[in-house]
Structure 1
Amino acid sequence: MNPETANDGEFLAAVEATTWPGERFGHREHVRLGWLYLRRHGPEAGSTRIRETIQRYAASLGASAKYHETVTRAWSAHVYAALRETPHLEPFSAFLAAHPELLDGKLLERHYRKETLDAEAARREWVAPDVAPLPVFP
């Protein structure tokens, strides 16, 4: 499987099997994973799958401490909001073109102070926004 040309099924299978190259699992791939799970499983089951898969994947790379519960859930809320706007938009590249804000690494600054997200408590468990509400998400 080539990370440059992997289709959605190949990508998802490789991430779930923890064989996707760690150096190729950046922000865009996190968003893609969220898009796939939320489309296929809805907000509740999709959110659970996102969290479990990212945790398992991080552990396989020896990077369990990198998992951040609040960031994962906050980004899932934004991906789900975009999905509600364009539920049938495919492929992923078209979805991203319609929602370029999802590639903005500073998007969560609209909702959280830096100190809040940097806190160990926010890494371990869900912490509500302290600047502005997130999009509605279960």
Structure 2
Amino acid sequence: MDPRTAADDEFLAEVEATTWPGEHFGHREHLRLGWLYLRGCGPEEGYARIRSTIQRYAQALGASGKYHETVTRAWSAHVYSALKETPGLEPFEAFLKAHPELLNGRLLERHYRKETLEADAARREWVAPDVSPLPEFP
């Protein structure tokens, strides 16, 4: 399956069922999952779904230790902020084109020291930024 041509509902169903190919679940797909949940469910429920879906997906791939609470929440804050700027923008590729900063895998360095994000505590639970504030996120 080509991740760029899969319909949103197909992508979401396969990720939720943990049948989406792991080699095609990189940064862009994490952003897409966040975009779908946050725009469809709002920030609170959307984040709860992002969190549980990624944890379940990682566990199904035998990589449950890869889930990172602080990184997940921080990226969700950036996706939510972009959604507030362009709430009706579809499809996902147009959203990314309007917000290319989201594709910068080093974006969180604006908010966190490397040591902070690499700490076990940040992986297990939410840790507030120690460089600069994140976009507002409930």
Scaled to the shorter chain, the TM-score interval is: over 0.9
Give TM-score, length-normalised by structure 1. 0.98
In structure 2, what is the equivalent of residue 116 of structure 1? 116
Asked if 1:57 corresponds to 2:57, the answer is yes
CA distance in 2, matches of 1:119, 1:63: 18
Asked if 1:29 corresponds to 2:29, the answer is yes
Asked if 1:77 corresponds to 2:77, the answer is yes
In structure 1, what is the equivalent of residue 40 of structure 2? 40
Asked if 1:107 corresponds to 2:107, the answer is yes
- AA aligned to 2:55 is Q
CA distance in 2, matches of 1:50, 1:88: 20
- AA aligned to 2:30 is H
CA distance in 2, matches of 1:40, 1:76: 14
CA distance in 1, matches of 2:4, 2:11: 10
Deviations 1:30-79 (A, max 9, x none): 00000000000000000000000000000000000000000000000000
CA distance in 2, matches of 1:46, 1:102: 18
- AA aligned to 1:74 is A
In structure 2, what is the equivalent of residue 9 of structure 1? 9
In the alignment, structure 2 segments of 5+ residues that lack a partner are none
- AA aligned to 1:113 is R
Aligned residues: 138
Q: Which aligned segments of 4 or more residues in structure 1 are displaced greater than 2 angstroms?
A: 1-4
> Identity percentage over the alignment?
80
